[in-house]
Chain A
Amino acid sequence: MNSLPALVRDRQICVCVGAGGVGKTTVAAALALEAARRGRRTCVITIDPARRLADALGVATLDNQPRRLAGDRQSELGIGDAGGLWAMMLDMKSTFDDLVERFAPDAEARERILHNPIYQHVSDALAGSAEYSAMEKVYELAEGKEFDLIVVDTPPSQHALDFLEAPQRLIEFLDSRLVRMLVHPAFAAGRFGFRVFQRGAQRVLKLIERVSGVGFLEDVSDFLLAIEGMSEGFRERATRVRSLLLGSGSAFVLVSGPQRRSLDDAERFLARLEQTGVPLAGVVVNRVRGWPDGGAPPRQVPDGASRPEAEAALARALAARGGEGFPAEDAARAAVDCVDRYASSVRRDLEVTEPLVEGSRRAGRFAVRVPELAGDVHDLEGLVGVAAHLFPDPDGR
C-alpha cells in the first residue's frame, strides 16, 4: 500500500511532478524535511525556489552542489544524527555543459561543441534538455550513494514527461538519416538503397539552404559532427537514467492545486504518467481551503436558523463586547457574510478535488490534501507546518 510515510521510509528517489504554480517546490522540500526528521540522509533538488525559501535552505547560489543545512538548524528541526538534510539548487545550463564535458570524445571535440554558435543557442532550448539535465544530476547523486533519499522538484513544462522523453528524442535525432546525411553526405550517398531516401533528403537540404542561406547548414553540420561522438555514451547513460527513474526504488508524487485549470492539468499528467509506466505513488493536492477545526464545513451558513436570527444573535454578542459606538449590526452582517463565503469556498475546493483524490485512492495510491495556509511558506518553520499536514500521523519518528 502506498503512503507518504512508507515512501519517505523506503524509497531512494522521489520525483515531484505537476504544472507550474501549484507549490511543487514547497511540497518537495517539506517531504525531504520530514524524511530527514525520520532519520534518512535526504537531499532535495530544487529548480526555481522562491528566494526566501532558497535562503532558508541555505542554497542561495546556483552551484550544483548539495549543501547541508547547518547543524544547529537541523537539531532545532528535530533532525537527529542518523538523518540529515541537504539542498541543492539546479543550474540547468551548466548541467548540460557538464554533459558535453563528460561525453565529448576528446578535448578538441568538446571545445568545438561548446563554442559552436548553434550549440550556444540550442543548449537552453533543445527540447526538454533542461528537464533531462535535472534527471542527469539525480542519477549522478544516486550513483554517489551519499544519500538515502533524493527528492526532486521537476521544472514546470508543457509536456508532462519531457525529462523522461527528451533523451530519446535527442538520440532519435542523432540517429536520423538526415543528420547522418549532413554529417557524412558521401557515406550516405554511396550506399545502395539510400538512393530513394537520398533524393528526398537532398530536396530537404536544398530547401533548407534556399530559405536559410549558405553558412547556416555548415554550422549545423559542424555542430552535429561534433556531438555525433557523444552519441554512444549519451545513449547508454540515458538508458540507465531512465531505468533508475522507472525502477522500484523510485516514486513519483503528483502535485496539484484546487483550481479548475490545475486539476485539468493534473488529470492530463496522470494519463501520461500511467501511459509511460511511471511508478506513481500518490497525489498531493496543495492549498485546499480548509475548515478551521479540521472538520467538514457546514452545508450552509447559517444552518438551522434564519439569517436575521443568526445575525441578531451575533450582533447582540458583539454589542455586549464592542462598547459604545461599535456598529454591531453591520459587523454581524459582515461576519455572517464572510463566513458564508468562506464555507462555500471550502465546500467548493473539497468537491472539485474529490475526483482526483478518490481516483487516486481507488488506484491504491495515497491522496493528501494540504490546506491553504495564512501566509507564504518561506522558512523552515513554514515547511514544518506543511509537513505536519502531509504526515498527520506522527508515527515513525
Chain B
Amino acid sequence: MSGPGQTLLERRLVIVTGKGGTGKSSVVATLALAGAQHGLRVAVVEVGLEEQIPGLFDPAAPPVGYPGREIHPGVTALRIDPYAALAEYLGLQIGVRGVVDLVFRNRAFRQLMDATPGWRELITLGKVWHLEQMRRDDGSPTYDLVLVDAPATGHGLTFLDVPRVAVSAVRMGPLRRHSGWVEEMIRDTQRTLLLPVALAEELPARETAELVERVREETGVAIDRVVVNAVAPAPFPSGLDDLDRHLAALPAETPLPGLPGPPVLAACAAHMRARHELNRHHLAEIARDTGLPLLVLPQLPEGVRNVADLARLAGPLLAAPEARAA
C-alpha cells in the first residue's frame, strides 16, 4: 500500500510540483542527491525553458540539454525539449530518420505543432515513461529513480491529465496505445508519487490544498505528503517567546551602546515574531486542508547555492513526515 510508510526513494517515479517560487527545483535536486547517496541511479527531468537543476549542484555547470549528462556521481540530468523528444519518438515509429528530418524542416509543420496544445506534455511524459522503462544488459533498470520537475501547480495537473485526454480524444492507433502506457504508469500508486512543494505562505498554502483536492478527485495519482520549503526557524529561543514585548516595555530613551533604541529593537523583534507566527499558521492550515503529513525544510540564509546546501536539506527531506494536529 502506498503511504508515508514508503520512503521517497522507494518509488520509481516522483513528480515534484508546486507554485513558482516555492523552490521546487531545489527539492528535486535534493532528492536526486539523497538518492545518489543511497546508491541509486537517478535521472532528473526538467521541462521548463530554463535549466535549474545543474546549476544547483554546481553554479558553473554548463547546460545539459537533451539527451542530458551525468552532473554528479549517480545523477543524470536532462531538459526535455519537446521537439527533440518528438523527433526521437517519430524516428522510433517510422524507422526512417530522414523522413522525420524532412518533416521537421517543413515550416507549416512547425506552425501546426507550435499551435497544437497538449502534445508537448504528452511527449514529455512519454520520454519520462521511456526513462523509467530503460534497462541495462543485466535487466536491471537503467535508472532506479526518475524525478520530474513538473510545471507550476495549475499547469502541473493539466500536464498529468494529458495522457488521459489523449486516450479519450484519439480513437485508435499507436498514439492511443502509448498514451495508455503512460497513463498506467502515472496512476500506479506503487511506482509513482506526486510530491507537492509549498511555502508556509497564504497563496502557496491555498494552491496546495486545491491541488491535493483536485488530484484526489480527478487523477487518482498517489500523493502522500507535502513538502513545505524554506520555513524560517523560530526567531527567539524557547522560553523567550514574547521577547519583543519585553523590549517594547523598556523606556524609549534607555542608552544602549552600539544598538538602536528600544522601540526599533522591539519593532524588529515584533516583525520577526509576526512573520514566524504567520508561517506556523499557514503550516497548520496546509496540514488541516490537505489531511497529509508535512516535511518541513529549513530556510537556508543564502538560499540553495551548491551541492553542500543540498546536502543540508537531504536529511529533513528523507525524514519521516510529521503529522500535525491543526
Contacts and interface: CB of A to CB of B under 8 A. Distances in A.
Given A117-B169, A215-B170, A375-B278, A304 B257 contact: yes
Contacts of A335: 243, 247, 265, 269
Interface in B268-298: 268-272, 274-275, 278
Interface string B164-187: 010011111111100000000000
B173 A177 contact: no
Given A172-B111, A176-B108, A204-B109, A376 B117 contact: no
B323 interface: no
A388 interface: no
Q: Which secondary structure dominates chain B's binding surface?
A: helix
Contacts of B100: 207
A203 B172 contact: no
A126 B170 contact: no
Contact of A204 (B93, B108, B237): B108
Contact of B115 (A169, A306, A343): A169
Contacts of B94: 207, 210
Contacts of B1: none
Interface string A194-219: 00010011011001001111111001
Contact of A374 (B114, B204, B274): B274
Nearest to A301: B259
A320 B259 CA distance: 18
Interface residues of A, number: 80
Nearest to B249: A321
Given A207-B90, A262-B21, A301-B259, A342 B271 contact: yes
Interface string B217-253: 0000000000000000001110110010011011000
A345 to B, nearest CB: 9
Contact of A20 (B21, B117, B254, B272): B21
Contacts of A215: 170-172
Given A292-B268, A302-B259, A204 B103 contact: yes
B240 A214 contact: no
Contacts of B93: 210-211
B114 A121 contact: no
A21 B108 contact: no
A167 B237 CA distance: 56
A179 B258 contact: no
Contact of B257 (A200, A212, A309, A343): A309
Contacts of A70: none
Interface in A336-393: 336, 338-339, 341-343, 372, 374-376, 378
A207 B99 CA distance: 9
Given A170-B115, A177-B108, A338-B268, A302 B175 contact: no
B319 interface: no
A244 interface: no
A219 B169 CA distance: 9
A122 interface: yes
A204 B103 CA distance: 6
B114 A216 contact: no
Given A127-B117, A207-B94, A178 B109 contact: yes
Interface of A: 19-22, 50-51, 117-118, 121-122, 124-127, 156, 158, 169-170, 172-173, 176-179, 181, 197, 200-201, 203-204, 207, 210-216, 219, 257, 259-262, 291-293, 298, 301-307, 309-310, 313-314, 317-318, 321-322, 326-327, 330-331, 334-336, 338-339, 341-343, 372, 374-376, 378
17 contacts: A20-B152, A21-B204, A50-B202, A172-B111, A178-B112, A197-B108, A200-B106, A207-B103, A292-B268, A304-B257, A310-B257, A318-B250, A321-B246, A336-B259, A338-B268, A342-B268, A375-B278
- For the complex of A and B, list the 7 residue pairs with the smallest distance between their C-beta atoms, beginning with the closest: A213-B173, A305-B258, A302-B258, A173-B115, A292-B267, A125-B117, A178-B108
Interface of B: 19-22, 48-49, 90, 93-94, 99-100, 102-103, 106, 108-109, 111-112, 114-115, 117-118, 151-152, 158, 165, 168-176, 201-204, 206, 235-237, 239-240, 243, 246-247, 249-250, 254-260, 262-265, 267-272, 274-275, 278, 303
